[in-house]
Amino acid sequence: QVQLVESGGGLVQPGGSLKLSCVASGFTGNYYTVAWFRQAPGKEREGIACIGFDDRNGNYRDSVKGRFDISVDKGKHTFYLEMNALKPEDTGLYYCAGVGRPFRQCALDADEYRYWGQGTQVTVSS
């Protein structure tokens, strides 16, 4: 039974940093993909970054390239999203999502993911 649990959200000032974690369990084998999404009130959910369990590098939304990093601790089946140089527009409810398949290039489309975490709030404000 697949489960994704996010943590690490909070309130930070513009320019600050935050690191989110997502613990994945229940996937069969290592052929799965995890992505981070965010949603602000009144706006559509958008993909931030994604990575396959065995991938070396992730795929990123243009607006976060160079600021955000996605990584995997394979031994712990834990995925991280390190966020730097945060901006007010980064504010939102951040979700960890997973699907039990690999991609040649992982997807940032919400409809590609079957499993979702509960979300963790990130607020960037002075």
- Residues 14 and 16: their CA atoms lie apart, in Å, by 5
Give the pLDDT of residue 114: 97
- Find the helix or strand (DSSP H, E) in which 60 lies: strand 59-60
Q: How confident is the model at residue 116 (pLDDT cuts 50, 70, 90)?
A: very high
Q: What is the pLDDT of residue 84?
A: 98
Question: Minimal CA–CA distance to 10: which of 1, 2, 19, 69?
Answer: 19
* 62-88 burial code (b ≥16 CB/10 A, e <16): eebeeebbbebeeeebbbbbbbeebee
Q: Is the pLDDT of residue 11 over 90?
A: yes
Return the DSSP state at 110. G
In angstroms, the CA 62 to CA 66 distance is: 9
* Phi/psi at 89 (5° precision): -70, -5
Residue 25 has pLDDT above 90, yes or no: yes
When the pLDDT of each residue in the chain is averaged and rounded to a whole number, the result is 96
Q: What is the mean pLDDT of residues 98-125?
A: 96
DSSP assignment of 23-37, as one string? EEE--STT--EEEEE
Query: For residue range 39-95, what is the model confidence (pLDDT) as tens digits?
Result: 999 999 999 999 999 999 999 999 999 999 999 999 999 999 999 999 999 999 999
Residue 105: the pLDDT is 93
Quick one: pLDDT at residue 29? 83
With a cut of 90, say whether residue 30 has pLDDT above it: no
Mean pLDDT of 3-7: 97
